[in-house]
Structure 1
């Protein structure tokens, strides 16, 4: 481009040059000229004319001038010249091909999953975990110092419900996965306590219509408890006796919660034992998914026992934006959000409604978002940027959080603390509630996917148990990542395990196919290094795609868009399969055969690298 500009007699800022894939009818590569001409002082028409004429005069073995259309300089790539550059780069860099270090490297914390440690992970956590893992892998590919954090929400009444029951029945677990056992206890205690309250309400209520409504809820809870009594008869009977014999079980549960927040040894021992039991099960699930965390952050230690929350509240109260309302302490986030400048700095979209944030209830207890202020300060002290992977339903709380931090002096908080919002996963016919025990666990989804993958590869007479695991997990991950995070996903087995297109199994199959070609070549004694200059128009589309991989990874990482990688992998796999189906490789003439094998080897490497960025492992056979 510099030579073309020199020939045209104009100066251009080479830093503004971007190369994009051209529309098919215009060539292979397009260079947008709009940014370039503004600095020249020439009219667009004159600049485009000069550059077009110069491009036609400059000889280049790699690129051929195709014309200037609609402000784009269009060029055609000579595959014989381009292939050696791309294939040699892939050979040299190997597993690191596509990893381009950012000019500005940052310390980044990606906080994700962070499920309440009182029940197993469900399908929503599955999407969260897969997204968070892919994000941290992509960011690492850019050279950032990335740490994955799991926030253990061990403070609050929900945890106390689980502790209350677990301490009575912990010896009855048997061989059940620990998080499922704790989750069942949490649900049973919730239902039993609520049922006791409803029965008392029904006895006191005089209005027949209200009594009918209460009885309807009682029937619902009794129905759910019947299921648990059949699945966990001994545990259920023990918990039912515990709640029935207590005059006020909620008071006992609140006592556990209060004792834990105050660090009383008896409460700490009971609570930590319950939570660690559940976390053991959660970690099993994460291990199966290949998700690893660098830090497990205990809410109690970071925000409560350290008095960091009280310190944040004191400083926030000094801003003049905190007031008392009906005994509660309230932060007027809505007033702060009236300023367009503040909204921009805090990353609050125009038109997004912000309401006041209750910091403390009238009884003096803090809310989750209040404690999250202290936790965010802790994370920001350890990173240049923090990415919270949290469901879009928490957008208001995350906006209030950033506004509170802005009020505390974090004027660039919109850039430093990102809410990576994702939508729910819809399971047709299912409405989830962990309190009522109505959810589809991640373990169930994972196992069902692996079982279906096993059935499919058995049909084909190929693959092992290890391959079934890799294919099943790869299918799940690709499915969750192939949608933009702001889209609701409707879960469909047909789409998850589609072996024909745009799926994990399709990408894995394409990789296995490439690896199989290389294995057959080795078995036939074809080991010589090929000359990529022999490749031509048949290979052009695949070569161009291979060359685009690094820029694709950069775009995906910098924009936090794993779906860009899934789309790329699907295109590469499709084009490679189309190429191999129509073009002989092992049966090609000697010389060209070796060159085409080099191309196949490069495809296998790039497919492998792309899958690795998504946390997907390639199987051996399928």
Structure 2
């Protein structure tokens, strides 16, 4: 027998035995459930049904459990060795020889598809992720978005869903307009050898910083002689000092570019009006503005593609924000919202009363927000008629919902309010199911020791730099451990080890937690890292290669070592972990699982001989166990977008 989910086979048999033993008493229980035990001496699964029945029958739980076990007929059980009553619980113990045969043969037969249990209800799903602003390179913070989104897409595809990945190009709005403005002021062109995204990031940071200094000086001057303004003036001067320090840093990076933009801003009587003209001109489709902005964005997006390709991330669709403005989709959404009782004008701006929408339709529970939590009004259009990001996102999301059953938006926690406002706008436009169909997949920041990142000030660590550093450190480690390898081989290994280490570091932490990025952990060969898991996979491949034979006569009853049984159980649990990770959208569960398998396998390798086993039957059984570890690690790593190497 071969099974895609050995764990489920065992669990189903336990439930059937429990149901049969309960007889008519089963009607007194709403739902039978089984949980995993924490210690092997208590078996593998247990039921607490005795406690529910004890309350109804006015009996002691232990007596009820004794009766259930006594009534249980194990004569036809294939995988349950015995059932025991322990302190009121009903514990089920595996028939390990039979279960090992089922699990290890299933892994060997299914190989690359083992554990990928297909859903009975496949959906069309759009996963929008990364969507970095084209105002500078992808930094390590945005990289977490990219890796999480890519892992979700891989997992959901393996589950059987029709998944498409989309990158939303934010080419409308202030950030790109600032880059276009700064570029128009500068006489300096991008030097040879400097990437487009890095140059654009520098132009953006210099322009933003100089505009910030100008604004702060203006505010300080307006408050200078006003009574009672001392505290505010002190704060403004502190901010100005901080901006001045940033300006000094940026000037040191490229003095000529800095001076050119500075002189241009000083010549402009009203830089803010100039930037607003770019925003308005681009939204209206002015050809001159379109050409200038598109040239910048095209260059930046081209660099994005190069960076993302290095880390193994590609997209099915690149969606331009401007296209929804120019084709009238945004205008139509705004007019439809204007026609609802929740939209009104305030000082020339069109706003949506989020609070009223929530109260009138009792949406707090559906949105998952507390009773005291208030959502501010959503500004749909400014007084000058230009739109805001969330407004444009309404039109984009309608477009996505017309093409998919579910839209997953991988966006940071800091955008939680905007995502709720988006759902409210969709709700009153008739997309009431958007509360469930639109998923905000929120994640926390990435922190690097001793650094606070800020794109506006040019303070960030690029993903390319992080990958370069990881590959360099991996190369040093490979050269030290395997000096006999050729230079090309060492470079090849260092590349997939370094990239895999970065991906694992960003995916292995639950999205609700901050990633503390530290090199000693990222490339740790001893525990909880991609190289650690990759090395375990390579070790398993090497054992199979050295074995040189196909296991023909495995004696599964010989797999009685504690670590052998643990590995069999871990391999059997992979489909369960996979399903849970997909349902909860948690790549970190796959990462944790793979680390546990690698850890257990390394202990097994150090404790139990495989190729020098005492008999052919024992050797073949152990080889099949090693192969199942190879299969499981390979399939887990694939979900994380990490190469499973045959040699390290």
Q: TM-score, normalised by structure 2?
A: 0.88
Moved more, 421-430 or 531-540: 531-540
1:486 deviates by 0.7
**Contact preservation (8 Å) 1:29, 1:74:** yes
1:104 partnered with 2:127 = no
Secondary structure of the structure 2 residue equivalent to 1:101: coil
1:5 partnered with 2:5 = no
**Contact preservation (8 Å) 1:360, 1:367:** yes
Distance 2:505 2:164 in 1: 25
1:115 partnered with 2:132 = yes
Secondary structure of the structure 1 residue equivalent to 2:442: strand
Query: Who is 2:531 aligned against?
Result: 505
Q: Which of 461, 483, 497 does residue 509 from structure 2 map onto?
A: 483
1:399 deviates by 1.1
Query: Who is 2:9 aligned against?
Result: none
Distance 1:531 1:510 in 2: 23
Query: Who is 2:574 aligned against?
Result: 549
**Contact preservation (8 Å) 2:633, 2:644:** no
Distance 2:143 2:268 in 1: 38
1:266 deviates by 1.1
Distance 1:268 1:508 in 2: 47
1:293 partnered with 2:293 = no
Q: Which of 267, 281, 297 does residue 259 from structure 1 map onto?
A: 281
1:138 partnered with 2:155 = yes
CA RMSD, 1 decimal: 2.8
Cα deviation per residue 1:559-596 (whole Å; 9 max; x = unaligned)?
A: 11111111111111111111111110011122321221
Distance 2:219 2:23 in 1: 88
Distance 2:405 2:567 in 1: 38
Per the alignment, do residues 57 and 63 of structure 1 end up closer, same or farther by CA in structure 2, a change over 3 Å counting? closer
Distance 2:405 2:225 in 1: 59
Distance 2:81 2:204 in 1: 68
Moved more, 64-73 or 398-407: 64-73
Secondary structure of the structure 2 residue equivalent to 1:428: coil
1:529 partnered with 2:552 = yes
Q: How many residues align?
A: 616
Secondary structure of the structure 2 residue equivalent to 1:435: helix
Query: Who is 1:184 aligned against?
Result: 202
Per the alignment, do residues 345 and 218 of structure 1 end up closer, same or farther by CA in structure 2, a change over 3 Å counting? closer
**Contact preservation (8 Å) 1:26, 1:66:** no
Distance 1:43 1:155 in 2: 69
Distance 2:76 2:215 in 1: 86
Distance 1:66 1:337 in 2: 52
Cα deviation per residue 1:123-170 (whole Å; 9 max; x = unaligned)?
A: 211111111111111111110011111111110121111112335457
Q: Which of 264, 268, 279 does residue 246 from structure 1 map onto?
A: 268
Q: Which of 559, 575, 579 does residue 600 from structure 2 map onto?
A: 575
Q: Which of 221, 225, 238 does residue 247 from structure 2 map onto?
A: 225
Per the alignment, do residues 340 and 323 of structure 1 end up closer, same or farther by CA in structure 2, a change over 3 Å counting? closer
Per the alignment, do residues 283 and 344 of structure 1 end up closer, same or farther by CA in structure 2, a change over 3 Å counting? same
Distance 2:88 2:406 in 1: 37
**Contact preservation (8 Å) 1:83, 1:535:** no
Moved more, 170-179 or 375-384: 170-179
Q: Which of 442, 456, 467 does residue 421 from structure 1 map onto?
A: 442
Q: Which of 190, 205, 214 does residue 172 from structure 1 map onto?
A: 190
Point out where structure 2 has 5 or more consecutive residues left out of the alignment: 1-12, 484-488
Per the alignment, do residues 71 and 344 of structure 1 end up closer, same or farther by CA in structure 2, a change over 3 Å counting? farther
Query: Who is 1:612 aligned against?
Result: 638
Equivalent runs, 1:434-445 vs 2, <5 Å: 434-445=455-466
**Contact preservation (8 Å) 1:346, 1:413:** no
Distance 1:192 1:281 in 2: 26
Secondary structure of the structure 1 residue equivalent to 2:363: helix
Distance 1:35 1:161 in 2: 68
Per the alignment, do residues 486 and 464 of structure 1 end up closer, same or farther by CA in structure 2, a change over 3 Å counting? same
Per the alignment, do residues 359 and 59 of structure 1 end up closer, same or farther by CA in structure 2, a change over 3 Å counting? same
**Contact preservation (8 Å) 2:333, 2:394:** yes
Secondary structure of the structure 2 residue equivalent to 1:65: strand
Q: TM-score, normalised by structure 1?
A: 0.92
